[in-house]
Amino acid sequence: MEFSAQQLANVLNGTIEGDASVKVSNFSKIEEGKPNTITFLSNPKYEHYIYTTKADIVLVNKDFKPKQAISATLIRVNDPYMALATLLKLSESHKQNPVGINPLAFVSKTAKIGKNVYIGAFAYIADNVTIDNDTYIYPNCYLGPDVSVGSNTIIYPHVTIYRECVIGDRCILHASCVIGADGFGFARDENGKYVKMPQNGNVILQDDIEVGASTTIDRGSMGPTVISRGVKLDNQIQIAHNVEIGENTVMAACTGISGSTKIGKDCVFAGKIGSVGHISIADNVIIAGGSNLTKNITEKGSIYQGSPAIPIGKAKRSYAVFKNLPELQQTVYELQKEIKELKALINNK
């Protein structure tokens, strides 16, 4: 569908500079802008592209001050990135969504299926599963016995949800993620052999959660693993048994959280972060990429970095020393040599 600049400005409560009648039907990056598309400028380092982009409409901050002429129509908004998200959702809402239960899907007679639910080919819906209204289950998904899925949730192909797990409203589960696999629990017997500990809990995903592709969230050994409202998990993340993640916390790819860790709300975990088990992280904490958490973080709003992770100020000072270690080592060798020579000189006297 095509939208004019004026229509888009009305949706975004923005103001127009340029041709309000120009129409667009697609999106583009500002550096790869094409005619009949809309783009955005959020990061100042991309500003030079706005003067050469071929896109017809550009979303900019209300206080943006161009340094030269711009051929595109501008829509000034409070936050171009959020405005883009709004328009992308609007575009998605106009696409044709699948409906109905494919005849190649298996749906148990004891399952309860709401209105306007889509279930794709070769999906398996086990006994006593509940799926609420307007939810999409794409092909080759497995929903185990007694699983509950809320309304307006999207479960993409090859997702596996083990028995008794609970998925809330407006969640998005991307391809091949696994919800409710057994936690990594073993005991060693008197002969030194590992004996599997039964994992009798489940996983609870509250509302408005997004889980990336190939991410695994293990069931609790006793009681649930809980992912709170608004959490966003990237691809290839491992969440172990009985972990609790607070509201609106986000985690980037390749992060691993060990068992029984409790993470506060509004935290930010960059990529490739690891944590030991049984620790607590306060609210609003930021963990820099590649860090390893080995102990509790009790100060709200703090920033940690490193392996093991330490406060960001100390981490930067430590790095300033670490990167100069070869030179410092040479200095130490030279000092040792001078001390040895001085001792020899003193002894000779």
Query: Among residues 94, 158, 174, 241, which one is catalytic?
Result: 241
Distance CA 326, CA 330 (A): 6
Coil, helix or strand at residue 240: coil
Q: Are 130 and 110 in contact (CB under 8 A)?
A: no
Distance CA 22, CA 38 (A): 10
Beta-carbon count within 10 A of 72 CB:
25
Strand partners, 76: 15, 60
Does residue 241 carry a catalytic annotation?
yes
From 236, 204, 237, 238, select the one nearest 220 (Cα to Cα): 204
What residue type is assigned to position 137 of the chain? I
From 305, 263, 270, select the one nearest 284 (Cα to Cα): 263
List, in order, residues 6 or more apart from 344 with CB less than 8 Å away.
Answer: none
C-alpha 254, offset from chain centre: 10
Distance CA 225, CA 242 (A): 4
Measured N-to-C along each axis, helices 5-12 and 80-93 cross at an angle, to the nearest 10 degrees, of 110
Residue the block writes with tokens 């185990």? 144
Q: Are 225 and 201 in contact (CB under 8 A)?
A: yes
φ/ψ (deg, to 5) at 25: -130, 5
The catalytic residues are 241
